[in-house]
């Protein structure tokens, strides 16, 4: 199997969709000549031309909003919002328009729009370039929400998002772009709403997203040396959510830790905990632990930033607490 | 008013009396529909939040008459007139207002979310300026596929203060997409007059288009012929690949912001005078020199159509509550 970085995997999905389907086009800030601020779209302008690889003004309302209109007219636009912090600028279009057109029209229109964005801490950008806001969008019926953590997943899930007939908010994590991983030689679409079990275990399930999938896998290794067997599950799609796989895993292990880089309070872990307690209450041997960022705008100085966001040792501590509580 | 230059741009067309009579009928239909909506709301039959376009019939009628069926529009919270003018039968609109399955949005939208994709109505929008960027995107799709179609956004003067408006105009002009931005300038943002929401005189809002280098056409929004000619010129400009057009129509809202609005903020005498001098239906009636009996016959016809729409709506099907989840995802 070939190896691609997470960045190359995103690019490959974009390029293949652009190559095979005239209705696909991409637009966003600095995505053409510059190749995107994360270098994801490098080379696409040269292959597909300026009509289908469109630089836009700094204009998040118009980027998302024009994507909506083109999608309703039968195109499959993929728009890029450079940092997910800037999704805030386009919230009206995402929440009131993209998500609601189908219902408001009584099913007359569909909005096959993909909104790619990225974020994440670990490089001291300060408070406005590193947020993890995926949970906000899980609250909005009509949207789908994807957060991929590996090259294989990001390629297969992006493909499915592009070809989904609904607006999909597609989260990438900045620190994962250089991550290498094996991918199938031929692109295999990964259905939205299917979790991935990264590692099987017996004692504790860690349900992790984005960068924290990798932190959780590290924590699982460390826990194993302490005699604790950890299962790591990545939902991959937050909306719709593969409740069956997640609840099934917790019924087996009887303990659960949720882990994401986003702030704990009101984070996706809260939704997971609610789903899990309802589906696995009689199986649970410990309260569900939530790992995430501390409740503060992200401070700039590296030492403060590193203290605010979670790492493998935070996941490991949470794993230990769930086991200590019930053994 | 449409200038001579604009009339020349539209091929020097004259509007025949027959066409004007058709406009008159449609404007009267809209008026009677709106009056019926007010009446049925006050009778407690219509749920929700309703905004009628009494006084603004000429802009809906004139603009939509200049469009082809395959052209698309996005409307505003004040949507009934646009929806009728773009070709949705009144009974489907009334059924929507009654929340029935037979409604143009199958009971999912209501007054502020009237859709009818078959006739090119991409939906009314309850967020001021909310539908404008999608019109840029629709026009972009037409441009990319080289289709001879235009996309039209209706909005009011209040919308011109939003970021959404400015981003939409900027992108549309940058990419020269075949869009028409129809400003229905009634001088009110809900209850707030132009003097409290606009830093420039209300009649000079066209300058906002100039800021983007966008083609500006202006017409008296109470004169349906002028509106129609200007809209034709706008459509020709957009279809010729010359970029979008900003169509500034000065109009008058002869009622409150919403049905039931006591309009405590409005000068009574001024409103009375506006009703007497700015009513687009009266103005056209006078111009056509309609005889009383001709008017009465036409009025009876459209009134019967509106009455029938109420009967149709009342006899309609109530949606099943659980169908509320039916169209969340495609």
| Per-residue pLDDT tens digits for B127-173 | 999 999 999 999 999 999 999 999 999 999 999 999 999 999 999 99
Q: What is the mean pLDDT of residues B108-114?
A: 97
Contact A174, A6 (CB under 8 A): no
Instruction: Report yes or no on B330 lying in a domain.
Output: no
Count H helices and E strands in chain B, helices first. Answer: 13, 8
Best to test chain B binding among A52, A104, A165, A239 (most B CBs inside 10 Å): A104
pLDDT digits (tens, 9 = 90+) for A293-316: 999 999 999 999 999 999 999 999
Tell me whether strands A3-5 and A24-28 are parallel, antiparallel or unpaired: unpaired
Does the beta-carbon distance from B133 to A62 stay under 8 Å? yes
What is the per-residue DSSP string for A151-198? Answer: HHHHHHHHHHHHTSSS-EEEEEEGGGTT-EEE--SS-----TT--EEE
Q: What is the CATH number of the domain that holds B98?
A: 3.40.50.970
The total of other beta-carbon atoms located within 10 Å of residue A197's CB is 15
Considering only CB atoms, which residues of chain B are within 8 Å of chain A?
A: 72, 103, 105-109, 113, 115-117, 122-123, 125, 127, 130-142, 144, 151, 163-164, 167-168, 170-171, 174, 326-330
Query: What b/e string do you get for A148-180 counting C-beta neighbours within 10 Å, with b at 16 or more?
Result: bbbbbbbbbbbbbbbbbebbbbbbbbbbbbebe
Instruction: Report yes or no on B321 lying in a domain.
Output: no
Instruction: Report yes or no on B137 lying in a domain.
Output: yes
Tell me whether strands B192-193 and B188-189 are parallel, antiparallel or unpaired: antiparallel
Q: B318: burial class by Cβ within 10 Å (0-12, 13-18, 19+)?
A: exposed
- In chain A, which stretches have pLDDT less than 50? none
The size of chain B, in residues, is 330
Q: What is the structure's pLDDT at B14?
A: 78
Q: What is the structure's pLDDT at B12?
A: 55
What is the per-residue DSSP string for B286-311? Answer: HHHT--HHHHHHHHHHHHHHHHHHHH
Give, as one character, the DSSP assignment of residue A210: T
Percent above pLDDT 70 for chain B? 96
Instruction: Report yes or no on B322 lying in a domain.
Output: no
Residues facing residue A87 across a β-bridge: none
Residues 6+ apart with CB under 8 A from B128: B76, B77, B155, B156, B158, B159, B162
Task: Provide the H-helix boundaries in B98-221.
Answer: 132-144, 163-175, 194-197, 207-210
Does the beta-carbon distance from A65 to B137 stay under 8 Å? yes
Domain count along chain B = 1
- Which of B7-21, B116-130, B227-241 shows the lowest per-residue confidence on average (mean pLDDT)? B7-21
Contact B36, B42 (CB under 8 A): no
Q: What is the mean pLDDT of residues B100-118?
A: 97
Q: In this structure, which long-range contacts are made by residues B109-112, counting pairs with CB atoms below 8 Å and at least 24 apart in sequence?
A: B109/A104, B109/A105, B109/A106, B110/B47, B110/B48, B110/B49, B111/B37, B111/B48, B111/B49, B111/B50, B111/B51, B111/B77, B111/B79, B111/B80, B112/B48, B112/B49, B112/B51, B112/B77, B112/B79
Instruction: Report yes or no on B329 lying in a domain.
Output: no
Instruction: Report yes or no on B150 lying in a domain.
Output: yes
| Chain A residue with Cα closest to B166 | A62
A247: nearest Cα among A285, A205, A214:
A205
d(CA A305, CA A307): 5
Distances (CA, A) of B159 to A231, B154, B164, B205, B211: 53, 10, 8, 11, 16
Q: What is the structure's pLDDT at B135?
A: 98
d(CA A54, CA A67): 12
- How many interchain CB pairs under 8 A, A with B? 138
Distances (CA, A) of A207 to A61, A196, A278, A317: 33, 10, 16, 15
d(CA B182, CA B241): 18
What are the chain B neighbours of A105 within 8 Å (beta carbons)? 105, 108-109, 113, 115, 117, 123, 327
Q: Which single residue is written with the structure tokens 């026009």?
A: B139
The whole-angstrom distance between residue A15's C-alpha and the CA centroid of its chain comes to: 20
Give catalytic residues of A, as residue numbers: 60, 129
What are the chain A neighbours of B135 within 8 Å (beta carbons)? 69
pLDDT digits (tens, 9 = 90+) for A56-103: 999 999 999 999 999 999 999 999 999 999 999 999 999 999 999 999
Q: What is the structure's pLDDT at A327?
A: 66
Does the beta-carbon distance from B142 to A73 stay under 8 Å? yes
Q: What is the structure's pLDDT at B3?
A: 46
Tell me whether strands B215-220 and B245-250 are parallel, antiparallel or unpaired: parallel
Structural domain for B86, as ranges = 4-315
Quick one: tokens of B327? 């169209």
Q: Which domains does chain A have, with CATH numbers?
A: 3-182 (3.40.50.970), 196-325 (3.40.50.920)
Q: What is the structure's pLDDT at A305?
A: 97
Does the beta-carbon distance from B137 to A72 stay under 8 Å? yes
d(CA A324, CA A318): 10
Does the beta-carbon distance from B164 to A144 stay under 8 Å? no
Q: What is the structure's pLDDT at A325?
A: 84
Q: A17: burial class by Cβ within 10 Å (0-12, 13-18, 19+)?
A: buried
Quick one: tokens of B107? 């009971």
Contact A291, A320 (CB under 8 A): no
Instruction: Report yes or no on B325 lying in a domain.
Output: no
Tell me whether strands A230-234 and A196-199 are parallel, antiparallel or unpaired: antiparallel
d(CA A17, CA A112): 14
Contact A122, A175 (CB under 8 A): yes
Give the minimum alpha-carbon distance from B294 to chain A in angstroms, rounded to a whole number. Answer: 38
d(CA A285, CA A269): 18
d(CA B248, CA B281): 20
* Mean of all residue pLDDT scores within chain B: 95
Best to test chain A binding among B137, B173, B323 (most A CBs inside 10 Å): B137
Does the beta-carbon distance from A68 to B134 stay under 8 Å? yes
Q: What is the structure's pLDDT at B297?
A: 96
pLDDT digits (tens, 9 = 90+) for B284-325: 999 999 999 999 999 999 999 999 999 999 999 999 999 999
The total of other beta-carbon atoms located within 10 Å of residue B268's CB is 8
Q: What is the structure's pLDDT at A82?
A: 98
Q: What is the structure's pLDDT at B5?
A: 47
Q: What is the structure's pLDDT at B2?
A: 43
DSSP 3-state of A326:
coil
Instruction: Report yes or no on B50 lying in a domain.
Output: yes
**Helix H or strand E encompassing B17:** helix B17-42
Query: What b/e string do you get for A215-242 counting C-beta neighbours within 10 Å, with b at 16 or more?
Result: bbbebbebbeeeebebbbbbbbbbbebb
Contact B47, B99 (CB under 8 A): yes
pTM of the predicted structure, to 2 decimals: 0.96
Contact A224, A230 (CB under 8 A): yes
ipTM exceeds 0.85? yes
Q: What is the structure's pLDDT at A326?
A: 75
């Amino acid at each position: 199997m070939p190896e691609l970085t997470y960045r190359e995997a995103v690019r490959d999905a974009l390029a293949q969709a652009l190559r095979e389907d005239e209705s696909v086009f991409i637009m966003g800030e600095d995505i053409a000549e510059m190749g995107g601020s994360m270098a994801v779209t490098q080379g696409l302008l040269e292959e597909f031309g300026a009509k289908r690889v469109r630089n836009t003004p700094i204009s998040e309302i118009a980027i998302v909003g024009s994507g909506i209109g083109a999608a309703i007219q039968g195109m499959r636009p993929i728009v890029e919002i450079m940092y997910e912090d800037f999704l805030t600028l386009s919230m009206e279009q995402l929440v009131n328009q993209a998500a609601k057109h189908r219902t408001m029209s009584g099913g007359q229109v569909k909005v096959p729009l993909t909104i790619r964005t990225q974020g994440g801490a670990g490089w001291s950008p300060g408070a406005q370039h590193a947020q993890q806001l995926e949970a906000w969008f899980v609250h909005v019926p009509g949207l789908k929400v994807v957060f991929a953590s590996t090259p294989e997943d990001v390629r297969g899930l992006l493909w499915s998002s592009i070809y989904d007939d609904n607006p999909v908010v597609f989260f990438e994590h900045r620190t994962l772009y250089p991550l290498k991983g094996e991918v199938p030689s031929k692109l295999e679409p990964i259905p939205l709403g299917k979790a991935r079990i990264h590692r099987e275990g017996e004692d504790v399930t860690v349900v992790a997203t984005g960068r924290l999938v990798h932190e959780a896998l590290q924590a699982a290794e460390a826990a194993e040396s302490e005699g604790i067997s950890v299962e790591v599950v990545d939902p991959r799609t937050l909306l719709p959510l593969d409740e069956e796989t997640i609840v099934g895993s917790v019924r087996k292990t009887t303990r659960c830790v949720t882990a994401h880089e986003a702030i704990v309070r009101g984070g996706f872990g809260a939704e997971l905990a609610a789903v899990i307690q309802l589906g696995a209450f009689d199986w649970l041997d410990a309260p569900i632990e939530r790992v995430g960022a501390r409740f503060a705008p992200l401070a700039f100085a590296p030492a403060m930033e590193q203290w605010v966001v979670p790492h493998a040792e935070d996941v490991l501590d949470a794993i230990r607490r769930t086991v200590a509580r019930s053994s | 008013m449409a200038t001579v230059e604009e009339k020349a741009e539209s091929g020097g067309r004259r509007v025949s009396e027959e066409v004007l009579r058709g406009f008159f009928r449609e404007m009267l239909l809209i008026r009677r529909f709106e009056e019926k909506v007010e009446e049925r709301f006050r009778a407690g039959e219509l749920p929700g939040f309703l905004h009628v376009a009494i006084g603004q019939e000429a802009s809906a009628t004139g603009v939509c008459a200049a469009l082809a069926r395959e052209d698309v529009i996005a409307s505003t919270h004040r949507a009934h007139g646009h929806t009728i003018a773009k070709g949705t039968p009144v009974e489907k609109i009334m059924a929507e207002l009654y929340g029935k399955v037979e409604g143009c949005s199958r009971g999912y939208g209501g007054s502020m979310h009237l859709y009818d994709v078959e006739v090119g109505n991409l939906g009314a929008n309850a967020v001021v300026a909310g539908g404008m960027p999608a019109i840029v995107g629709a026009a972009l799709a037409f441009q990319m596929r080289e289709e001879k179609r235009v996309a039209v956004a209706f909005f009011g003067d209040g919308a011109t203060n939003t970021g959404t408006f400015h981003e939409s105009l900027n992108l549309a002009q940058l990419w020269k997409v075949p869009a028409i931005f129809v400003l229905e300038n009634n001088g009110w943002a809900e209850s707030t007059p132009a003097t409290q929401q606009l830093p420039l005189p209300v009649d000079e809002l066209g300058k906002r288009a100039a800021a983007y280098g966008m083609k500006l056409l202006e017409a008296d929004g109470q004169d349906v012929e002028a509106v129609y000619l200007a809209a034709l010129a706008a459509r020709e400009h957009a279809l010729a690949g010359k970029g979008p057009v900003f169509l500034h129509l000065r109009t008058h809202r002869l009622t409150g912001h919403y049905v039931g609005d006591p309009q405590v903020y409005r000068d009574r005498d001024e409103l009375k005078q506006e009703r007497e001098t700015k009513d687009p239906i009266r103005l056209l009636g006078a111009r056509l020199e309609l005889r009383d009996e001709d008017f009465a016959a036409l009025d009876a016809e459209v009134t019967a159509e509106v009455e029938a729409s109420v009967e149709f709506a009342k006899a309609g099907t109530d949606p099943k509550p659980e169908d509320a989840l039916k169209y969340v995802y495609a």
